[in-house]
Amino acid sequence: MKILRIINVHNYISSFMVIFFRQIIITFFVVILNTFCVKAQKVNMSFQIDGYENDTLLIAYYYGNRTLVKDTLLVSSDKKGLFRWTQNTLVPQGVYLALMKPNNNYVQFLVNDHQNSLKLKFHANDLSDVDVTGCKENKAFFDFLTYLGEKRIARDTLNARLERAINNNLPQEHLKDDLSRLDREVKLYQQNILKQFPGTVLELLISSNKEVDVPDYSGDEKSVQSQKYLYYKNHYFDHVNFLHPALIRTPTIHQKVDDYLNKLTVQIPDSLMITVDYILKLTNLNKDAFQYFLSETLNKFAQSNYVGHIDIAVHIIDNYYAKGLAPWEDEANIEKLKSDADNIRPTMLGKKMPDITTYLEDNTPVRLYDIKSDYVIVFLWDPDCATCKKFAPEIVNFQKKHSDERIKILTICNLPGEKYKNCWTAIKEKGMEALINTGDEYQRYQSKVRNTKVPKLLILDKDKKIILKDFAADKLDEIFENLAKNASNSN
């Protein structure tokens, strides 16, 4: 697929250049580095920065999508602009940064398993021209950045000329040929570096950023696009060495994994769970990377407001933290996570809602499983909750429009004890009398439902299975229109 390959290399040049030529704005975290890296050694490096008047240079490193400070260097007393970095402890492999104050402009360099000496010389006002002594890999790294910068200019020029030719209906083949030639040149340059520096951080960086070369397919357009998508997704990580100890200390791996999770995975909980397990399986033998992505995915889904994402967090807790696969966490945190998961578990998507009993104002019991309907909307609320006050009129209006359909709405007022009587006053004030309004001054239902943070909306099917939850009340009409369409299509 000739044109696709050209586009891929252009994307590669752009993404690589954006990563390695920019001004960084970061929040610094001074950390004690806990490293699982086996192949690392002591460091003796110097940075001669002409035109730099500040007396401090920060040494930082990438950690996923963050940049963390490793060390603070003071200017040498024997030479202006000279900073020395010596380490008597192990330094893990990765991409490091020499950051200048006050604007956080930086030069990046590589720390590998065979490297203990490096000299960098550059001017504070021209970070594209770096003189490297003492490390062939770093010399090749900076040469590669310079090469990509030149090729980016050539690519942009050709693309501009091609766009003009297309707009003016002029010959285009020679320009496409030039782009193809550029494509081949960049690939050849890459291959030469990979051959010269196998197993290094430089190889990891270049390989990880190589695009998938998708083959041609035949058939109708929909079929071809589907086959291309599946091939691309199945081969997306082909060039990434997940065993490399520097993996998590590169500026590219977080975004690559994030794109796979958010752009190549269908955004429904079941599919996302499969992808999370796949990513953690890929990193399982790389302790640093596994720790990062396990923590990252848990935080991502636990803090998300998207429907069903909290269920993915429960999946991660159950299958990793609860099974002893996060030894860096102390026992108290593990127990807290397990407790949080247990609280969420009863109302996870796809599960049957617990068979709870709540009570009408006259104390008549209402058993959830006795409500016979195609759908039951459960609304847990509190008269003093600001969001509940916004939800209530939306739910009342929805009930008026669907009063003849097989949709029942069960409300559960979450006030206990002496406050319980306020539920019934609020129901009348909000015009909710047509709903099945219940509560329980002793809140006995909470022993089964457990996660009763309000407002909470759930939609149950006729078997009381939870098909949707944690959505805004103004989405009810849209949700049931889609449910009706899906039911119609399935018939």
Which pLDDT belongs to residue 5?
29
Which pLDDT belongs to residue 117?
81
Tokens of 122: 């550059």
Tokens of 106: 């930086």
Per DSSP, helices labelled H in 217-370 are 221-234, 253-263, 269-282, 287-302, 309-316, 331-344
Which pLDDT belongs to residue 16?
54
Q: How many CB atoms lie within 10 A of CB 72?
A: 15
Tokens of 44: 């003796």
Residue 318: exposure state from Cβ atoms within 10 A (0-12, 13-18, ≥19)? middle
Which pLDDT belongs to residue 3?
28
Which pLDDT belongs to residue 124?
96
Ordered strands of the 41-50 beta sheet: 82-91, 41-50, 117-123, 126-133
**Full pLDDT tens readout for the chain, 491 residues:** 322 323 344 454 555 544 554 333 333 333 323 333 333 447 889 999 999 999 999 999 999 999 999 999 999 999 999 999 998 877 899 999 999 999 999 999 999 886 568 999 999 999 989 999 988 999 999 999 999 999 999 999 999 999 999 999 999 999 999 999 999 999 999 999 999 999 999 999 999 999 899 999 999 999 999 999 999 999 999 999 999 999 999 999 999 999 999 999 999 999 999 999 999 999 999 999 999 999 999 999 999 989 999 999 999 999 999 999 999 999 999 999 999 999 999 999 999 999 999 999 999 999 999 999 999 999 999 999 999 999 999 999 999 998 877 999 999 999 999 999 999 999 999 999 999 999 999 999 999 998 778 999 999 999 999 999 999 999 999 999 999 888 777 65
Give the residue from 62, 326, 91 showing the smallest Cα distance to 208: 62
Q: What is the pTM of this model?
A: 0.84
Which pLDDT belongs to residue 451?
76
Q: How far apart are CA 444 and CA 423, in angstroms?
A: 16
Give the residue from 461, 447, 433, 445 showing the smallest Cα distance to 377: 461
Q: How many CA atoms lie within 13 A of 232 on its CB side?
A: 20
Residues 6+ apart with CB under 8 A from 274: 265
Cα-trace Rg, the chain: 30
